[in-house]
Amino acid sequence: MGTWGVGDGRLARIEAMSSGAATTTQPTKVKDALHYWVERLRGDDVPDAVLAAEYIISYVLGLPRRRLDSEMSLVLSQEKVKEIERLMTCRLARMPLQYILGEWDFRDITLKLRPPVFIPRPETEQLVDLALECLQGIHKPKVLEIGCGSGAISLSLLHSREDIECVAVDQSRIAVNLAEENANDVGVLGRMTLVEGKVTSNASVSLPHDTYDLVVSNPPYVLRKDLTNLQPEIMLYEDLRALDGGPEGLDVIKSIFHLSHSLLPYNHYLLLEVDPCHPYLIPAWLEKQKKLKMAVINVYQDLSQKDRFIKCVKYE
Ligand SMILES: C[S@@+](CC[C@H](N)C(=O)[O-])C[C@H]1O[C@@H](n2cnc3c(N)ncnc32)[C@H](O)[C@@H]1O
């Protein structure tokens, strides 16, 4: 008794645990619970089992994950054991850790996250750096973000510089509401305008300003053919409209170019996160759309050395 690795009697203990019947055989020390849940997650091929188990247990204990090591001998109350089980069951059902915990860090802010609003990805932190670079030397810049999701990009910009004003648009009301909640938590709601609306090539959303100093977006850019290869975490829990960019991944991107053409003054920038094939496809498309007066002037790689971001300028 008391060992929670793979072994004789494990199934009976799991059954007892899920029925809530036996309490004496449940792991009561942090180190036993950790070992047990890592094995269970691994047994179901859940990725990053150690990370998930550590995050969930430390979350239930109300501790930062780095402090878990020093609490291995702590005895868990039955209430905590049950709560850990509840959250681990969500992870076994492949719910992303970010939704289970309900929050996640992005750069130096913490965002509330709820399904099905898109979970900000680490590479998008680089897009914020690029946006801040573009805004250097501009006093009180006005930024337009298309597809704000939880608000990660706009809120990071607002948190980084006190003179920035952001207008953030999303077609999803759930996303707009979450972004508003996050803006309030980060303390920047006064400098952010949230707009629920769908950007398309022919109909524009109603926005508070006629021009912007920068347009930035991490749009849905996944090519339709690649959507079937996504992990269950994404397929089951995230809004696929946040990812689906159409046959070439360019459907929303093209609309953003049309909008940027009408809202950017000359020599101002549009920054986009894209699929690695897009830095090749977009210049060819822009060549045929001369009236847009937009050109790709830089391509940047993400941390995995994939062409991931493009900087475009509106020319005269
Ligand atoms: C890839 S997610 C990015 C979310 C957030 N900016 C981030 O990086 O975490 C794309 C977002 O664009 C929104 N969206 C998709 N198509 C749109 C459209 N045509 N107009 C406005 N928003 C759109 C989706 O609802 C989703 O929130």
- Candidate from 170, 226, 254, 272 with most ligand 1 atoms within 8 A of CB, to mutate: 170
Whose CA is closest to 149, among 184, 174, 181? Answer: 174
- Give catalytic status of residue 229 as yes or no: no
- Candidate from 105, 125, 192, 218 with most ligand 1 atoms within 8 A of CB, to mutate: 218
Q: How confident is the model at residue 251 (pLDDT cuts 50, 70, 90)?
A: very high
Q: Residues 62, 55: contact at Cβ < 8 Å?
A: no
- Predicted model pTM: 0.90
Residues with CB under 6 A from ligand 1: 118, 120, 124, 146-150, 152-153, 169-172, 175, 198-199, 218-220, 241-242, 252, 255
**pLDDT of the residue at 25:** 55
Question: Ligand 1 centroid to 294 CA: how many Å?
Answer: 22
Above 70 in pLDDT, residue 11? no
Which of the listed CATH numbers 3.30.2250, 1.10.3470, 3.30.70, 1.10.8 matches domain 10-93? Answer: 1.10.8
Above 70 in pLDDT, residue 20? no
Q: How confident is the model at residue 22 (pLDDT cuts 50, 70, 90)?
A: very low
Domain ranges of the chain: 10-93, 103-314
**pLDDT of the residue at 18:** 45
Three-class SS of residue 284?
helix
Question: What is the arithmetic mean of pLDDT over 174-197?
Answer: 98
Which atom of ligand 1 lies at the shortest distance from residue 119's CA? 9
**Mind listing the pLDDT tens digit for each residue in 228-244?**
999 999 999 999 999 99
**pLDDT of the residue at 246:** 97
Question: What is the arithmetic mean of pLDDT over 126-151?
Answer: 98
Give the chain's mean pLDDT: 92
Question: What is the arithmetic mean of pLDDT over 251-270?
Answer: 97
Whose CA is closest to 269, among 171, 127, 106? Answer: 127
CATH fold match for the domains 10-93 and 103-314: no
Question: Ligand 1 centroid to 307 CA: how many Å?
Answer: 20
Question: Ligand 1 centroid to 103 CA: how many Å?
Answer: 19
- Give catalytic status of residue 208 as yes or no: no
Q: How confident is the model at residue 201 (pLDDT cuts 50, 70, 90)?
A: confident
Of 16-20, 62-66, 126-130, give the lowest mean pLDDT range. Answer: 16-20
Cβ atoms < 10 Å from Cβ of 71? 15
**pLDDT of the residue at 28:** 87
Three-class SS of residue 195?
strand
Whose CA is closest to 182, among 110, 128, 238, 121? Answer: 110
Pick 94 or 10 by higher pLDDT.
94
Q: Which CATH architecture has domain 103-314?
A: 3-Layer(aba) Sandwich (3.40)
Match 């805004």 to its residue by tokens: 135
**Mind listing the pLDDT tens digit for each residue in 267-312?**
999 999 999 999 999 999 999 999 999 999 999 999 999 999 999 9
Question: What is the arithmetic mean of pLDDT over 54-72?
Answer: 95
- Candidate from 124, 196, 252 with most ligand 1 atoms within 8 A of CB, to mutate: 252
Helix residue ranges per DSSP H, the chain: 10-19, 30-43, 49-61, 78-92, 97-101, 124-135, 152-160, 173-186, 232-237, 251-263, 278-288
Whose CA is closest to 193, among 220, 164, 172, 218? Answer: 164
**pLDDT of the residue at 10:** 36
Pick 202 or 216 by higher pLDDT.
216
- Give catalytic status of residue 219 as yes or no: yes
**pLDDT of the residue at 26:** 62
